[in-house]
Amino acid sequence: MRIITLIISISLAALLPLKAQFTPQSKVPPPMTEQFASQVRGYQQIIDTYHSTAEKIIRTAKQDNLCYDRLAEMCDTYGHRLSGSESLEKALDWIIEQLKKDGLDVTSEKVMVPHWVRGTESATLVSPRVKKLAMLGLGGSIGTPAEGITAEVLVVKSFDDLKAHASEAKGKIVLFNVPFTTYGETVQYRVNGCNEASRVGAVASLVRSVTPVSLSTPHTGMLRYNDSLTKIPHAAITVEDAELLQRMQKRGVKTMITLKMEAKTLEDSPSRNIIAEIKGSEKPEEIVVFGGHIDSWDVGQGAMDDGGGVFVAWNALRIIKKLDLKPKRTMRLVFWTNEENGLKGGTQYALNHKNELANHVLAIESDAGTFKPRGFEVKGSERSKVLATAISSLLNPIAADLIVDGDGGADIGPILETGVPGMELIVDDAKYFWYHHTDADTMDKLNPDELNLCSAAMAIMTFVAADFPIRFPK
Ligand SMILES: [Zn+2]
Protein backbone atom coordinates (compact mmCIF):
# COMPACT_ATOMS: atom_id res chain seq x y z
CA MET A 1 0.00 0.00 0.00
CA ARG A 2 2.84 2.31 0.86
CA ILE A 3 4.39 1.60 -2.51
CA ILE A 4 1.10 2.26 -4.25
CA THR A 5 0.73 5.63 -2.55
CA LEU A 6 4.32 6.50 -3.31
CA ILE A 7 3.98 5.66 -6.97
CA ILE A 8 0.71 7.54 -7.35
CA SER A 9 2.17 10.67 -5.82
CA ILE A 10 5.20 10.31 -8.06
CA SER A 11 3.08 9.97 -11.15
CA LEU A 12 1.19 13.17 -10.43
CA ALA A 13 4.40 15.00 -9.79
CA ALA A 14 5.87 13.54 -12.94
CA LEU A 15 2.93 14.35 -15.15
CA LEU A 16 3.95 17.79 -16.25
CA PRO A 17 6.97 19.23 -14.54
CA LEU A 18 9.25 16.59 -16.03
CA LYS A 19 8.11 17.12 -19.59
CA ALA A 20 7.96 20.79 -18.93
CA GLN A 21 11.64 21.07 -18.21
CA PHE A 22 13.00 20.03 -21.52
CA THR A 23 14.47 22.71 -23.73
CA PRO A 24 17.35 20.72 -25.20
CA GLN A 25 17.91 23.22 -27.99
CA SER A 26 19.35 25.57 -25.43
CA LYS A 27 21.19 22.92 -23.45
CA VAL A 28 24.93 22.74 -23.36
CA PRO A 29 26.92 20.26 -21.31
CA PRO A 30 28.37 21.52 -18.04
CA PRO A 31 32.10 22.26 -18.37
CA MET A 32 34.00 19.02 -17.92
CA THR A 33 36.35 19.04 -14.94
CA GLU A 34 39.73 17.33 -15.27
CA GLN A 35 38.57 14.73 -12.73
CA PHE A 36 35.40 13.98 -14.76
CA ALA A 37 37.40 13.76 -18.00
CA SER A 38 39.90 11.37 -16.47
CA GLN A 39 37.08 9.14 -15.20
CA VAL A 40 35.62 9.09 -18.73
CA ARG A 41 39.07 8.12 -20.08
CA GLY A 42 39.13 5.30 -17.54
CA TYR A 43 36.45 3.55 -19.63
CA GLN A 44 38.31 4.05 -22.91
CA GLN A 45 39.66 0.51 -23.26
CA ILE A 46 36.23 -1.04 -22.84
CA ILE A 47 34.58 1.55 -25.10
CA ASP A 48 37.12 0.70 -27.83
CA THR A 49 35.78 -2.87 -27.91
CA TYR A 50 32.39 -1.48 -29.02
CA HIS A 51 33.55 0.66 -31.95
CA SER A 52 32.96 -1.89 -34.68
CA THR A 53 29.56 -2.86 -33.23
CA ALA A 54 28.53 0.80 -33.11
CA GLU A 55 29.57 1.28 -36.73
CA LYS A 56 27.59 -1.81 -37.73
CA ILE A 57 24.53 -0.48 -35.90
CA ILE A 58 24.79 2.87 -37.67
CA ARG A 59 25.19 1.20 -41.07
CA THR A 60 22.23 -1.10 -40.44
CA ALA A 61 20.07 1.78 -39.22
CA LYS A 62 20.68 3.59 -42.52
CA GLN A 63 19.93 0.54 -44.67
CA ASP A 64 16.17 0.93 -44.92
CA ASN A 65 13.27 3.23 -44.07
CA LEU A 66 11.21 0.65 -42.25
CA CYS A 67 10.88 2.86 -39.16
CA TYR A 68 9.33 5.68 -41.17
CA ASP A 69 7.26 3.33 -43.32
CA ARG A 70 5.82 1.50 -40.35
CA LEU A 71 5.02 4.70 -38.50
CA ALA A 72 3.32 6.10 -41.60
CA GLU A 73 1.33 2.91 -42.08
CA MET A 74 0.09 2.98 -38.50
CA CYS A 75 -0.70 6.71 -38.52
CA ASP A 76 -2.44 6.60 -41.91
CA THR A 77 -4.38 3.41 -41.18
CA TYR A 78 -5.62 4.05 -37.65
CA GLY A 79 -5.42 7.82 -37.13
CA HIS A 80 -4.97 9.42 -33.72
CA ARG A 81 -4.47 7.29 -30.60
CA LEU A 82 -6.23 9.07 -27.74
CA SER A 83 -6.62 6.97 -24.60
CA GLY A 84 -9.97 5.20 -24.57
CA SER A 85 -10.30 5.30 -28.37
CA GLU A 86 -10.84 2.28 -30.60
CA SER A 87 -8.09 3.59 -32.89
CA LEU A 88 -5.49 3.33 -30.12
CA GLU A 89 -6.42 -0.30 -29.41
CA LYS A 90 -6.42 -1.20 -33.12
CA ALA A 91 -2.97 0.38 -33.49
CA LEU A 92 -1.75 -1.67 -30.50
CA ASP A 93 -3.03 -4.90 -32.11
CA TRP A 94 -1.19 -4.01 -35.31
CA ILE A 95 2.05 -3.23 -33.43
CA ILE A 96 1.93 -6.61 -31.65
CA GLU A 97 1.67 -8.37 -35.04
CA GLN A 98 4.64 -6.43 -36.43
CA LEU A 99 6.79 -7.06 -33.33
CA LYS A 100 6.20 -10.78 -33.75
CA LYS A 101 7.36 -10.46 -37.37
CA ASP A 102 10.60 -9.00 -36.01
CA GLY A 103 11.10 -12.18 -33.98
CA LEU A 104 10.83 -10.37 -30.64
CA ASP A 105 9.25 -11.75 -27.45
CA VAL A 106 6.04 -9.72 -26.95
CA THR A 107 3.70 -9.40 -23.99
CA SER A 108 1.04 -6.86 -23.09
CA GLU A 109 -0.14 -5.68 -19.70
CA LYS A 110 -3.60 -4.26 -19.05
CA VAL A 111 -3.84 -0.61 -17.98
CA MET A 112 -7.09 1.21 -17.12
CA VAL A 113 -6.99 4.66 -18.72
CA PRO A 114 -9.10 7.82 -18.61
CA HIS A 115 -11.61 8.13 -21.43
CA TRP A 116 -12.19 11.76 -22.30
CA VAL A 117 -14.07 12.62 -25.47
CA ARG A 118 -14.01 16.00 -27.15
CA GLY A 119 -17.29 15.93 -29.06
CA THR A 120 -18.27 18.84 -31.28
CA GLU A 121 -16.90 22.19 -30.22
CA SER A 122 -16.67 25.78 -31.43
CA ALA A 123 -15.79 29.29 -30.35
CA THR A 124 -17.30 32.26 -32.14
CA LEU A 125 -16.66 35.92 -31.67
CA VAL A 126 -20.23 37.28 -31.71
CA SER A 127 -19.64 40.94 -30.93
CA PRO A 128 -18.64 43.48 -32.18
CA ARG A 129 -18.59 41.31 -35.31
CA VAL A 130 -19.00 37.64 -36.08
CA LYS A 131 -15.83 35.62 -36.58
CA LYS A 132 -15.26 31.90 -36.16
CA LEU A 133 -12.28 31.23 -33.90
CA ALA A 134 -10.12 28.15 -34.44
CA MET A 135 -10.09 26.34 -31.10
CA LEU A 136 -9.42 23.06 -29.31
CA GLY A 137 -10.92 22.08 -25.98
CA LEU A 138 -8.26 21.06 -23.47
CA GLY A 139 -7.99 17.45 -22.38
CA GLY A 140 -10.15 16.70 -19.37
CA SER A 141 -12.28 19.84 -19.77
CA ILE A 142 -15.97 19.75 -18.98
CA GLY A 143 -18.38 20.81 -21.71
CA THR A 144 -20.72 23.76 -21.90
CA PRO A 145 -24.54 23.67 -21.83
CA ALA A 146 -25.95 22.76 -25.27
CA GLU A 147 -26.70 26.40 -26.07
CA GLY A 148 -23.11 27.27 -25.19
CA ILE A 149 -21.74 29.98 -22.95
CA THR A 150 -21.93 33.51 -24.30
CA ALA A 151 -20.04 36.10 -22.29
CA GLU A 152 -17.84 39.14 -22.48
CA VAL A 153 -14.11 38.47 -22.73
CA LEU A 154 -11.49 39.68 -20.27
CA VAL A 155 -7.98 39.37 -21.72
CA VAL A 156 -5.13 39.08 -19.21
CA LYS A 157 -1.40 38.70 -19.70
CA SER A 158 -0.51 36.66 -16.61
CA PHE A 159 -1.90 35.25 -13.36
CA ASP A 160 -0.79 38.50 -11.65
CA ASP A 161 -2.63 40.52 -14.29
CA LEU A 162 -5.74 38.43 -13.58
CA LYS A 163 -5.41 39.18 -9.85
CA ALA A 164 -5.11 42.88 -10.61
CA HIS A 165 -8.36 42.72 -12.62
CA ALA A 166 -10.13 40.15 -10.40
CA SER A 167 -13.08 42.45 -9.74
CA GLU A 168 -13.82 42.60 -13.50
CA ALA A 169 -13.73 38.84 -14.11
CA LYS A 170 -17.06 37.73 -12.65
CA GLY A 171 -19.38 36.25 -15.29
CA LYS A 172 -16.79 36.68 -18.05
CA ILE A 173 -14.69 34.41 -20.23
CA VAL A 174 -11.09 34.97 -19.16
CA LEU A 175 -8.49 34.71 -21.93
CA PHE A 176 -4.86 34.20 -20.90
CA ASN A 177 -2.84 35.80 -23.70
CA VAL A 178 0.60 34.72 -22.56
CA PRO A 179 3.47 34.63 -25.08
CA PHE A 180 5.60 31.46 -25.18
CA THR A 181 8.82 31.65 -23.20
CA THR A 182 9.61 28.05 -22.27
CA TYR A 183 7.14 25.19 -22.39
CA GLY A 184 7.51 24.72 -18.64
CA GLU A 185 6.56 28.31 -17.87
CA THR A 186 3.87 28.91 -20.44
CA VAL A 187 2.07 25.57 -20.07
CA GLN A 188 0.99 26.60 -16.55
CA TYR A 189 -1.77 28.69 -18.14
CA ARG A 190 -3.07 25.67 -20.04
CA VAL A 191 -2.89 23.41 -16.98
CA ASN A 192 -4.12 25.82 -14.29
CA GLY A 193 -5.79 28.70 -16.12
CA CYS A 194 -9.26 27.25 -15.55
CA ASN A 195 -8.67 27.18 -11.79
CA GLU A 196 -7.42 30.75 -11.49
CA ALA A 197 -10.23 32.01 -13.73
CA SER A 198 -12.82 30.08 -11.71
CA ARG A 199 -11.44 31.51 -8.47
CA VAL A 200 -12.40 35.02 -9.61
CA GLY A 201 -15.84 34.03 -10.89
CA ALA A 202 -15.23 33.49 -14.62
CA VAL A 203 -17.73 31.25 -16.46
CA ALA A 204 -15.15 29.79 -18.87
CA SER A 205 -11.50 30.27 -19.72
CA LEU A 206 -9.40 30.35 -22.86
CA VAL A 207 -5.68 30.12 -23.29
CA ARG A 208 -3.44 31.35 -26.08
CA SER A 209 -1.94 28.16 -27.56
CA VAL A 210 1.37 27.13 -26.03
CA THR A 211 3.68 27.59 -29.01
CA PRO A 212 6.42 29.96 -30.17
CA VAL A 213 5.13 29.95 -33.78
CA SER A 214 1.61 29.79 -35.15
CA LEU A 215 -0.07 29.37 -38.53
CA SER A 216 -3.53 29.76 -36.97
CA THR A 217 -3.16 26.34 -35.36
CA PRO A 218 -4.70 25.74 -31.93
CA HIS A 219 -2.78 23.40 -29.56
CA THR A 220 -4.54 21.07 -27.16
CA GLY A 221 -3.10 19.37 -24.05
CA MET A 222 -3.91 18.44 -20.51
CA LEU A 223 -5.54 20.62 -17.87
CA ARG A 224 -5.76 19.79 -14.17
CA TYR A 225 -8.85 20.89 -12.24
CA ASN A 226 -8.52 21.95 -8.62
CA ASP A 227 -11.33 19.95 -7.02
CA SER A 228 -12.06 22.64 -4.45
CA LEU A 229 -13.08 25.12 -7.18
CA THR A 230 -16.05 25.20 -9.58
CA LYS A 231 -15.05 23.48 -12.82
CA ILE A 232 -15.37 25.72 -15.88
CA PRO A 233 -14.78 24.81 -19.55
CA HIS A 234 -11.22 25.53 -20.72
CA ALA A 235 -10.05 25.70 -24.35
CA ALA A 236 -7.14 26.89 -26.46
CA ILE A 237 -7.41 29.45 -29.25
CA THR A 238 -4.73 30.53 -31.71
CA VAL A 239 -1.98 33.06 -31.09
CA GLU A 240 -3.48 35.14 -33.90
CA ASP A 241 -6.95 35.33 -32.34
CA ALA A 242 -5.59 35.89 -28.83
CA GLU A 243 -3.66 38.89 -30.14
CA LEU A 244 -6.74 40.15 -32.02
CA LEU A 245 -8.82 40.07 -28.83
CA GLN A 246 -6.00 41.75 -26.89
CA ARG A 247 -5.80 44.60 -29.41
CA MET A 248 -9.57 45.12 -29.36
CA GLN A 249 -9.57 45.27 -25.55
CA LYS A 250 -6.73 47.80 -25.63
CA ARG A 251 -8.85 49.99 -27.90
CA GLY A 252 -11.68 49.80 -25.38
CA VAL A 253 -13.83 47.54 -27.57
CA LYS A 254 -15.98 45.02 -25.68
CA THR A 255 -15.82 41.54 -27.20
CA MET A 256 -18.29 38.69 -26.68
CA ILE A 257 -17.64 35.02 -27.42
CA THR A 258 -19.99 32.03 -27.65
CA LEU A 259 -18.20 28.87 -26.55
CA LYS A 260 -19.81 25.50 -27.29
CA MET A 261 -18.17 22.27 -26.13
CA GLU A 262 -19.60 18.75 -25.84
CA ALA A 263 -16.52 17.47 -23.98
CA LYS A 264 -17.05 14.83 -21.33
CA THR A 265 -15.22 12.19 -19.34
CA LEU A 266 -16.60 8.63 -19.57
CA GLU A 267 -15.80 5.59 -17.43
CA ASP A 268 -12.15 4.49 -17.42
CA SER A 269 -11.40 2.15 -20.30
CA PRO A 270 -8.97 -0.78 -20.72
CA SER A 271 -5.76 -0.25 -22.69
CA ARG A 272 -2.33 -1.92 -22.66
CA ASN A 273 1.38 -1.38 -22.28
CA ILE A 274 3.17 -3.48 -24.89
CA ILE A 275 6.53 -4.97 -23.92
CA ALA A 276 9.08 -6.56 -26.28
CA GLU A 277 12.41 -7.95 -25.19
CA ILE A 278 15.73 -9.45 -26.06
CA LYS A 279 16.67 -11.51 -23.03
CA GLY A 280 20.13 -11.03 -21.57
CA SER A 281 22.63 -13.80 -22.30
CA GLU A 282 24.44 -13.61 -18.93
CA LYS A 283 22.32 -11.53 -16.58
CA PRO A 284 18.76 -11.76 -17.89
CA GLU A 285 17.37 -10.47 -14.57
CA GLU A 286 19.15 -7.12 -15.08
CA ILE A 287 17.17 -4.85 -17.38
CA VAL A 288 17.76 -1.80 -19.56
CA VAL A 289 14.23 -0.51 -20.16
CA PHE A 290 13.51 2.00 -22.91
CA GLY A 291 10.64 3.29 -25.05
CA GLY A 292 8.10 6.04 -25.43
CA HIS A 293 4.36 6.52 -25.29
CA ILE A 294 2.05 5.09 -27.91
CA ASP A 295 -1.02 7.17 -27.07
CA SER A 296 -1.50 10.64 -28.57
CA TRP A 297 -3.95 13.51 -28.53
CA ASP A 298 -7.03 13.23 -30.72
CA VAL A 299 -5.75 15.73 -33.29
CA GLY A 300 -3.32 15.19 -36.15
CA GLN A 301 -1.69 11.76 -36.24
CA GLY A 302 0.51 11.83 -33.16
CA ALA A 303 3.31 11.15 -35.64
CA MET A 304 5.84 13.28 -33.76
CA ASP A 305 4.37 13.06 -30.23
CA ASP A 306 5.13 10.35 -29.62
CA GLY A 307 4.76 7.95 -32.56
CA GLY A 308 8.27 8.77 -33.75
CA GLY A 309 9.71 8.51 -30.25
CA VAL A 310 8.42 5.05 -29.52
CA PHE A 311 9.06 3.82 -33.09
CA VAL A 312 12.76 4.76 -33.00
CA ALA A 313 13.03 2.80 -29.73
CA TRP A 314 11.31 -0.12 -31.47
CA ASN A 315 13.61 0.21 -34.49
CA ALA A 316 16.61 0.21 -32.14
CA LEU A 317 15.59 -3.18 -30.74
CA ARG A 318 14.86 -4.49 -34.24
CA ILE A 319 18.37 -3.51 -35.36
CA ILE A 320 19.96 -5.32 -32.39
CA LYS A 321 17.87 -8.42 -33.22
CA LYS A 322 18.66 -8.19 -36.93
CA LEU A 323 22.40 -8.02 -36.19
CA ASP A 324 21.98 -10.98 -33.85
CA LEU A 325 23.76 -9.10 -31.08
CA LYS A 326 23.42 -10.81 -27.71
CA PRO A 327 23.51 -8.27 -24.85
CA LYS A 328 24.55 -9.61 -21.44
CA ARG A 329 21.52 -7.95 -19.82
CA THR A 330 17.92 -7.85 -20.99
CA MET A 331 16.91 -5.06 -23.37
CA ARG A 332 13.25 -4.27 -22.76
CA LEU A 333 11.22 -2.02 -25.04
CA VAL A 334 7.96 -0.58 -23.68
CA PHE A 335 5.15 1.14 -25.58
CA TRP A 336 3.65 3.04 -22.64
CA THR A 337 -0.04 3.88 -22.97
CA ASN A 338 -1.81 7.02 -21.72
CA GLU A 339 1.10 9.38 -21.13
CA GLU A 340 -0.79 12.40 -22.43
CA ASN A 341 -3.81 12.51 -20.15
CA GLY A 342 -3.09 10.35 -17.17
CA LEU A 343 0.34 8.72 -17.15
CA LYS A 344 -1.43 5.50 -16.25
CA GLY A 345 0.87 3.35 -18.43
CA GLY A 346 4.09 4.51 -16.78
CA THR A 347 2.50 4.24 -13.35
CA GLN A 348 1.12 0.74 -13.97
CA TYR A 349 4.45 -0.48 -15.35
CA ALA A 350 6.27 0.53 -12.16
CA LEU A 351 3.56 -1.17 -10.08
CA ASN A 352 3.56 -4.40 -12.09
CA HIS A 353 7.35 -4.60 -12.05
CA LYS A 354 8.02 -3.28 -8.57
CA ASN A 355 9.91 -6.46 -7.61
CA GLU A 356 12.18 -6.03 -10.64
CA LEU A 357 12.89 -2.31 -10.28
CA ALA A 358 15.98 -2.89 -8.15
CA ASN A 359 17.35 -4.73 -11.19
CA HIS A 360 16.46 -2.02 -13.69
CA VAL A 361 19.94 -0.74 -14.42
CA LEU A 362 18.90 2.12 -16.69
CA ALA A 363 15.67 3.61 -18.11
CA ILE A 364 15.65 5.61 -21.36
CA GLU A 365 12.70 7.55 -22.74
CA SER A 366 12.24 8.99 -26.19
CA ASP A 367 9.51 11.63 -26.03
CA ALA A 368 11.11 14.92 -27.01
CA GLY A 369 10.80 14.65 -30.79
CA THR A 370 12.63 12.59 -33.41
CA PHE A 371 14.34 15.21 -35.51
CA LYS A 372 18.11 15.15 -35.91
CA PRO A 373 19.47 13.48 -32.73
CA ARG A 374 21.91 15.41 -30.55
CA GLY A 375 22.47 13.05 -27.63
CA PHE A 376 20.92 12.27 -24.27
CA GLU A 377 19.83 14.02 -21.12
CA VAL A 378 20.90 12.11 -18.03
CA LYS A 379 19.30 12.06 -14.61
CA GLY A 380 21.54 10.31 -12.13
CA SER A 381 24.75 10.48 -10.16
CA GLU A 382 28.07 11.86 -11.34
CA ARG A 383 29.23 8.27 -11.94
CA SER A 384 26.26 7.56 -14.20
CA LYS A 385 27.05 10.70 -16.20
CA VAL A 386 30.66 9.62 -16.57
CA LEU A 387 29.65 6.30 -18.13
CA ALA A 388 26.97 7.98 -20.28
CA THR A 389 29.62 10.37 -21.57
CA ALA A 390 32.00 7.50 -22.31
CA ILE A 391 29.33 5.54 -24.23
CA SER A 392 28.22 8.66 -26.07
CA SER A 393 31.63 8.90 -27.76
CA LEU A 394 30.38 5.99 -29.91
CA LEU A 395 27.70 8.37 -31.22
CA ASN A 396 30.27 10.89 -32.41
CA PRO A 397 30.11 9.65 -36.06
CA ILE A 398 26.45 10.74 -36.21
CA ALA A 399 27.04 13.91 -34.13
CA ALA A 400 24.73 12.67 -31.39
CA ASP A 401 27.27 12.57 -28.58
CA LEU A 402 25.95 15.40 -26.42
CA ILE A 403 25.34 14.51 -22.76
CA VAL A 404 23.54 17.05 -20.57
CA ASP A 405 21.88 17.03 -17.18
CA GLY A 406 18.20 16.23 -17.34
CA ASP A 407 15.11 15.31 -15.43
CA GLY A 408 14.38 11.97 -17.03
CA GLY A 409 10.98 11.65 -18.67
CA ALA A 410 7.33 11.33 -17.74
CA ASP A 411 6.83 7.60 -18.38
CA ILE A 412 10.08 6.55 -16.72
CA GLY A 413 9.45 8.97 -13.82
CA PRO A 414 8.01 6.29 -11.51
CA ILE A 415 11.02 4.02 -12.25
CA LEU A 416 13.53 6.82 -11.66
CA GLU A 417 11.96 7.66 -8.32
CA THR A 418 13.30 4.34 -7.03
CA GLY A 419 16.86 5.47 -7.78
CA VAL A 420 17.31 4.01 -11.27
CA PRO A 421 19.37 6.32 -13.54
CA GLY A 422 17.40 7.74 -16.46
CA MET A 423 18.00 9.27 -19.88
CA GLU A 424 15.97 10.99 -22.56
CA LEU A 425 16.90 11.16 -26.23
CA ILE A 426 17.39 14.79 -27.22
CA VAL A 427 17.07 16.10 -30.74
CA ASP A 428 17.14 19.33 -32.69
CA ASP A 429 13.83 20.50 -31.25
CA ALA A 430 13.64 23.93 -32.90
CA LYS A 431 10.31 23.03 -34.53
CA TYR A 432 8.97 20.65 -31.91
CA PHE A 433 6.48 23.02 -30.32
CA TRP A 434 5.24 24.31 -33.67
CA TYR A 435 3.38 21.00 -34.17
CA HIS A 436 3.02 19.76 -30.58
CA HIS A 437 -0.58 18.65 -29.80
CA THR A 438 -2.02 20.05 -33.05
CA ASP A 439 -3.66 18.86 -36.25
CA ALA A 440 -0.27 19.49 -37.86
CA ASP A 441 1.48 16.68 -35.94
CA THR A 442 1.51 14.50 -39.06
CA MET A 443 3.94 12.21 -40.91
CA ASP A 444 5.16 14.86 -43.34
CA LYS A 445 6.90 16.65 -40.44
CA LEU A 446 9.22 13.67 -39.95
CA ASN A 447 12.15 12.56 -42.04
CA PRO A 448 13.18 8.91 -42.63
CA ASP A 449 16.91 9.66 -42.34
CA GLU A 450 16.48 11.47 -39.04
CA LEU A 451 14.36 8.62 -37.68
CA ASN A 452 17.16 6.24 -38.66
CA LEU A 453 19.77 8.35 -36.87
CA CYS A 454 17.59 8.51 -33.75
CA SER A 455 17.21 4.71 -33.97
CA ALA A 456 21.00 4.31 -34.18
CA ALA A 457 21.53 6.57 -31.16
CA MET A 458 18.95 4.62 -29.13
CA ALA A 459 20.34 1.25 -30.28
CA ILE A 460 23.94 2.09 -29.37
CA MET A 461 23.12 3.62 -25.98
CA THR A 462 20.74 0.84 -24.93
CA PHE A 463 22.84 -2.05 -26.27
CA VAL A 464 26.15 -0.86 -24.81
CA ALA A 465 24.53 -0.12 -21.43
CA ALA A 466 22.96 -3.61 -21.49
CA ASP A 467 26.15 -5.32 -22.54
CA PHE A 468 28.75 -3.31 -20.61
CA PRO A 469 31.00 -5.40 -18.33
CA ILE A 470 30.14 -3.03 -15.46
CA ARG A 471 26.57 -2.45 -14.35
CA PHE A 472 25.41 1.12 -15.11
CA PRO A 473 26.18 3.02 -11.88
CA LYS A 474 23.35 4.49 -9.82
ZN1 LIG B 1 4.69 12.96 -25.68
CA of 81 to the centre of ligand 1 (A): 12
Residue 246: pLDDT above 70? yes
Find the mean pLDDT for residues 14-23: 40
Alpha-carbon distance 279 to 329, whole Å?
7
Average pLDDT over residues 322-351: 98
**What is the Å distance from ligand 1's center to 437 Cα?**
9
- Asked whether residue 11 carries a pLDDT value surpassing 70, the answer given is no
Alpha carbon of 21 to ligand 1 centroid (Å): 13
Q: What is the mean pLDDT of the segment spanning 137-154?
A: 98
> How many A from CA of 183 to the centre of ligand 1?
13
Rounded to the nearest whole angstrom, what is the distance from the C-alpha of residue 200 to the centroid of ligand 1?
A: 32
Are 9-115+267-467 and 119-262 in the same CATH fold?
Answer: no
pTM, to two decimals: 0.93
- CATH number for the region 119-262 comes to 3.50.30.30
List, for residues 357-386, the tens digit of each pLDDT value: 999 999 999 999 999 999 999 999 999 999
Catalytic member of 121, 286, 339, 417: 339
Instruction: Assess whether pLDDT exceeds 60 at residue 23.
Output: no
- Catalytic residue at 339? yes
Look at residue 26 in the predicted model and tell me its pLDDT. 59
Q: Which residue has the higher pLDDT, 19 or 216?
A: 216
- Fold held by 9-115+267-467: Aminopeptidase (3.40.630)
Q: Is 18 exposed, middle or buried (0-12, 13-18, 19+ CB in 10 A)?
A: buried
Mean pLDDT of 138-148: 98
Domain segments of the chain as ranges: 9-115+267-467, 119-262
Higher pLDDT: 15 or 143? It is: 143
Is the pLDDT confidence value at 27 over 90? no
**pLDDT recorded at residue 25:** 53
8 has a pLDDT exceeding 60:
no
Percentage of the chain modeled with pLDDT above 70: 95
**From ligand 1's centre to the CA of 199, what distance in Å?**
30
